[in-house]
C-alpha cells in the first residue's frame, strides 16, 4: 500500500483529515464514506475501522487507522486508547520530521557554502557550471540536470549532467530552444519564478520535444542578473511527482549563486580576452615596428621623423645617422648650421609649408654633411596626423642630388655654349646682309666719285644698312647687358590697365574680347615700369596675332602666398603653339613668324628674370596659350 494516494476528502481517512476528528465505524458496508478501492487492490476485507488524526501544533500530519475483518470489533474505549497512542505517534513523527528538516537545512547550507567558496575561487566558466551541477545533484533528486544561457531570445545548453550518458556532447550543446516556442521558459522569464511540473503528461503547456520525450516531471528556475533572465537551471526526471516546491526553492538558491559566478566568470573571460587581444596587438605593433625598422634600415637615403613642436628628430634610420641627422638633434641645426628653423626663398622650410597647406611638400635644399661638405638634396616631406586631425609629426625622406645638379650644371653650361654658337650664327646672319649691302654701296660710291657721278643714293642705302646693324646690336645689348635703371613701387593692376587701353582699339578691330580680372587688393611691386609694361604688351600682341579670326584675351592677376608674390596670366583661345616650338620659344632669334626677329619673348624672359620673377607657358594646338608670370613682393 506504500505510495497509495487518495484525493482530498476521499475515504474514511480523507473524512477524518478533512474534519479533524476521530471516527469509529462498526460496519464499513453501512457507511458511505468508506472507499473500497484499497480492499479491491489488496484483497483485504475491512468491516470494522478505527481512524484517528495525527495532530501536532503545526497541523495534521496524517491519520492512524486500525482495520478488522469482524463487525463491531472496536469500542469507545479502544478509540480513546488509540487517540492517546496517536498523540505519541504524531509527536514522534513531528520530531522526526523536524530533525530531518533541520538536517536537510544544515546539509543545504553546507552545500551552498561549499558552492559559494568554490565559485569565488574559480573563474573558469565550465568548471564553475560543473561545480554548480554537482552540488545540485547532492541536494535535489534528479535524473538529468542542465544549465542554459539565454542569448537574443534563444536558450542553449552550456553544461549538463545526465541525458542517460548516451548523447553526444556536441549534439547536446547544439540544442537551441526559442523562448517563444517553449511556454515554461517564457513563463519563468515573465514571472521570474520557478516552474514546477510534477507530471508533464498532465500539463497542457508542456512541449514534447524529441530531445526530451522521456521527461515525465520537470522543475526549472530562472538565473537572474538584476531583472534580466540570463539563463535557467533545469531538472528532468524520468518518473512523475519527484520534486516539490521545497526543491524549487533550493534550486533557486543555486541559481542565485550561479548568476554571480557566471557574471564573474564571464567578466574574467572578457578580461582574459582583452588581455589576449592587447598582447596580440602589442605583438603586432612590435612586429610592425621591427618590419618598419628593417625597411627604414634598408633605405639607402636618409629617412627621419621630425616633431613639429621643436623640429627635433625623433626617429632616424642608419642612413640618416650617417648623414649627420642623429635622433634628438634638430633638422635645421644639423643640415644648415642654423639656430632657428629654415625660412625664406633661399631656404624654404617644408615643415612650415605643410603646417600652412596641410599637404605634402617637396623642396630643394643645400645641406651640410657630417664632414661639413655642401650637398644638394631633395627633401620630400609628408604630414602625420593625430586622432583629432592635427599635424604632430613630419616624415622626411631626403635624396642626395649633388651629382644630378653637377650634371645639370654641366649640361646647362654645354647648352649655353651651344646657345652662344647659335646666337653668334644668328647675329652673323642678321649683320651679314646689311654689312654686305654697306660694303657694296661704299664700292659703288667710290666708283661714282671717280666717274664724277652722284653718290647720294649709295650713301642713303649704306646709312639704312648701318641702322639695321645698330638696331640689332642695341637689342642684343638690352637682352644681355641691360642698362641700370632704378626700380620703383608699381601697382601691377594699374600697369596692366594702361597696357590694355593701348590695345583696346586693335582688339575691337580684330574681333577680340578683353576679359580683365584684376585682384581686388593689389600689393605694390618693386619694378622698372617701362620694362614690365613692354613684357605684357609683347605678350598681349602675340595673343592677338594668335587669334586672326577673333576670340578672347584673358588677363588676370592674383596674390600668391608661397612663394610670396603676384601672379599675372595672359591667355588666349587662339591657334596654340606646337610642342616642338614650345621648347625653344624663349631662345633668342627663334621665330616662326615671317619677318620676325625672334627677340621679343627672349627679351621678355630676360626682363622677368632680372626682376627675380618667373615666366612659364602652357599651350595646346587649336585650344590657345597661357603665359603665367610671377613677380616677387
Give the residue among 176, 174, 194, 175 at the shortest CA–CA distance from 184: 194
How high does pLDDT run on average in the chain?
Answer: 82
Give the residue among 422, 417, 467, 468 at the shortest CA–CA distance from 590: 422
User: Which phi and psi (to 5°) does residue 27 adopt?
Assistant: -145, 115
List, for the chain, all residue ranges whose pLDDT scores fall below the cut of 50: 165, 483-484, 594-595
Count of CB atoms within 10 A of residue 307's CB? 16
Residue 313 has what DSSP assignment?
A: E
Task: Give me the half-sphere count of Cα atoms (radius 13 Å) on the Cβ side of residue 285.
Answer: 6
Whose grid coordinates read 554571480?
Answer: 260
CA distance 24 to 34: 12
pTM over 0.75: no
CA distance 447 to 475: 34
Distance of CA 463 to the CA centre of its chain: 83
pLDDT per residue as tens digits for the range 249-276: 888 988 888 888 788 877 878 888 888 9
pLDDT at 595: 47
Give the residue among 29, 38, 32, 97 at the shortest CA–CA distance from 65: 38
Cα distances from 480 to residues 470, 483, 502, 531, in angstroms, run: 15, 10, 28, 14
> If DSSP codes are grouped into helix, strand and coil, which group holds residue 342?
coil
Give the residue among 150, 149, 222 at the shortest CA–CA distance from 188: 222
Q: Which residues pair with 629 in a beta bridge?
A: 568, 615
Q: Which domains does the chain have, with CATH numbers?
A: 11-101 (3.30.450.40), 122-266 (3.30.450.40), 299-400 (3.30.450.20), 406-480 (1.10.287), 488-632 (3.30.565.10)
142: CB partners within 8 A, 6+ apart: 136, 162, 235, 236, 237, 242, 243
The beta-strand segments (E) located in 90-242 are 144-151, 154-161, 176-178, 195-197, 217-225, 228-237
Amino acid at each position: 500500500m506504500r505510495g497509495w494516494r487518495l484525493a482530498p476528502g476521499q475515504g474514511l481517512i480523507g473524512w477524518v483529515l478533512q474534519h479533524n476528528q476521530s471516527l469509529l465505524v462498526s460496519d464499513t458496508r453501512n457507511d458511505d464514506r468508506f472507499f473500497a478501492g484499497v480492499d479491491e487492490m489488496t484483497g483485504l476485507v475491512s468491516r470494522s475501522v478505527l481512524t484517528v488524526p495525527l495532530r501536532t501544533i503545526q497541523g495534521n500530519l496524517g491519520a492512524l487507522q486500525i482495520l478488522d475483518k469482524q463487525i463491531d470489533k472496536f469500542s469507545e474505549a479502544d478509540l480513546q486508547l488509540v487517540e492517546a497512542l496517536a498523540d505519541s505517534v504524531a509527536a514522534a513523527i513531528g520530531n522526526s520530521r523536524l530533525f530531518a528538516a533541520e538536517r536537510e537545512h544544515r546539509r543545504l547550507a553546507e552545500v551552498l557554502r561549499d558552492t559559494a567558496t568554490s565559485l569565488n575561487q574559480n573563474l573558469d566558466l565550465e568548471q564553475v557550471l560543473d561545480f554548480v551541477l554537482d552540488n545540485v545533484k547532492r541536494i535535489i533528486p534528479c535524473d538529468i540536470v542542465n544549465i542554459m544561457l539565454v542569448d537574443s531570445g534563444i536558450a542553449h545548453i552550456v553544461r549538463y549532467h545526465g541525458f542517460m550518458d548516451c548523447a553526444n556532447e556536441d549534439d547536446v550543446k547544439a540544442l537551441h530552444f526559442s523562448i517563444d516556442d517553449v511556454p515554461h521558459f517564457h513563463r519563468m522569464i515573465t514571472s521570474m519564478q520557478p516552474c514546477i511540473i510534477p507530471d508533464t503528461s498532465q500539463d497542457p503547456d508542456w512541449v514534447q520535444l524529441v530531445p526530451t520525450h522521456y521527461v515525465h516531471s520537470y522543475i526549472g528556475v530562472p538565473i537572474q542578473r538584476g531583472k534580466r533572465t540570463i539563463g535557467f537551471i533545469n531538472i528532468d526526471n524520468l518518473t512523475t511527482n519527484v520534486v516539490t516546491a521545497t526543491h524549487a526553492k533550493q534550486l533557486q538558491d543555486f541559481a542565485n549563486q550561479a548568476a554571480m559566478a557566471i557574471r564573474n566568470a564571464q567578466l574574467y573571460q572578457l578580461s582574459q580576452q582583452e588581455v589576449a587581444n592587447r598582447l596580440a596587438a602589442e605583438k603586432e605593433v612590435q612586429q610592425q615596428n621591427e618590419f618598419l625598422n628593417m625597411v627604414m634600415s634598408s633605405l639607402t637615403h636618409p629617412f627621419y621623423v621630425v616633431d613639429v613642436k621643436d623640429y627635433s628628430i625623433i626617429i632616424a634610420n642608419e642612413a640618416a645617422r650617417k648623414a649627420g641627422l642623429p635622433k634628438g638633434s634638430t633638422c635645421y641645426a644639423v643640415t644648415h648650421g642654423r639656430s632657428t628653423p629654415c625660412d625664406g626663398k633661399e631656404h624654404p622650410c617644408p615643415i612650415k609649408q605643410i603646417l600652412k597647406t596641410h599637404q605634402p611638400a617637396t623642396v630643394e635644399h643645400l645641406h651640410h654633411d657630417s664632414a661639413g661638405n655642401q650637398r644638394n638634396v631633395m627633401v620630400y616631406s609628408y604630414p602625420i596626423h593625430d586622432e583629432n586631425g592635427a599635424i604632430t609629426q613630419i616624415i622626411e625622406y631626403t635624396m642626395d642630388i649633388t651629382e644630378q645638379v653637377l650634371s645639370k650644371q654641366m649640361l646647362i653650361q654645354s647648352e649655353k655654349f651651344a646657345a652662344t654658337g647659335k646666337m653668334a650664327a644668328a647675329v652673323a646672319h642678321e649683320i651679314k646682309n646689311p654689312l654686305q649691302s654697306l660694303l657694296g654701296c661704299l664700292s659703288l660710291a667710290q666708283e661714282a666719285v671717280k666717274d664724277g657721278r652722284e653718290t647720294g643714293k649709295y650713301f642713303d642705302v649704306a646709312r639704312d644698312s648701318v641702322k639695321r646693324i645698330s638696331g640689332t646690336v642695341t637689342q642684343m645689348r638690352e637682352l644681355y647687358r641691360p642698362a641700370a635703371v632704378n626700380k620703383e613701387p608699381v601697382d601691377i593692376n594699374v600697369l596692366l590697365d594702361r597696357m590694355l587701353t593701348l590695345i583696346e582699339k586693335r582688339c575691337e578691330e580684330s574681333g577680340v574680347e578683353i576679359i580683365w580680372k584684376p585682384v581686388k587688393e593689389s600689393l605694390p611691386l618693386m619694378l622698372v615700369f617701362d620694362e614690365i609694361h613692354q613684357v605684357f604688351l609683347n605678350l598681349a600682341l602675340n595673343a592677338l596675332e594668335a587669334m586672326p579670326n577673333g576670340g578672347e584675351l584673358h588677363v588676370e592677376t592674383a596674390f600668391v602666398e608661397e612663394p610670396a608674390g603676384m601672379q599675372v596670366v595672359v591667355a588666349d583661345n587662339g591657334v596654340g603653339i606646337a610642342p616642338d616650338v614650345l621648347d625653344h620659344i624663349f631662345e633668342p632669334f627663334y621665330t616662326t613668324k615671317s619677318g620676325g626677329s625672334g627677340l621679343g619673348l627672349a627679351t621678355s624672359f630676360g626682363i622677368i628674370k632680372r626682376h627675380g620673377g618667373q615666366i612659364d607657358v602652357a599651350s595646346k594646338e587649336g585650344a590657345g596659350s597661357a603665359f603665367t608670370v610671377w613677380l616677387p613682393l
